[in-house]
Amino acid sequence: MIVYMKPLQAEGNMNNILQSRFAIVVTKTYGNAVERNRIKRQIRSILVTLMPQMRQGFAVIIFPDTTCKAMQYNHLVVSVKQVLLKSGVLKQ
C-alpha cells in the first residue's frame, strides 16, 4: 500500500483548520469492479473509524496494491494504520 500526502493550503483569509481529504485509487490491474469497489469500501470504513486520531489539513491519496486483496479485514486495518502512522497523518 502506498500513501501520498500533501499539506492543504488555506484559500484567502481563512483561519479555520482544514479538514483532511482522502482519495482511494485502485487500478484495473487490481481486479474486476467488484474487487476494486470492495477494497475501496473497506479502506473508507477504516478511515472513518480512524478520523478522530488523524491530523487535520492534509490531502491523502491511498494506492492499495494486490497484496491487500488476500488480506483479512483486521490485517487490512493494521496495514492502513501502519502506513498512515509512517506518513505522519495519524497521531501516535
Arithmetic mean of pLDDT, 65-73: 91
- pTM (two decimals): 0.81
Q: What amino acid is encoded at 17 in this protein?
A: I
Residue 47 pLDDT exceeds 60? yes
Give the gyration radius of the chain's Cα atoms.
14
Mean pLDDT (the chain) is: 85
Domains in the chain with CATH codes: 2-8+18-87 (3.30.230.10)
Q: What is the pLDDT of residue 21?
A: 85
Long-range contacts of the stretch 50-53 (C-beta < 8 A, 24+): 50/80, 50/81, 50/84, 50/90, 53/90, 53/91
Q: What is the pLDDT of residue 4?
A: 66
Arithmetic mean of pLDDT, 52-76: 89
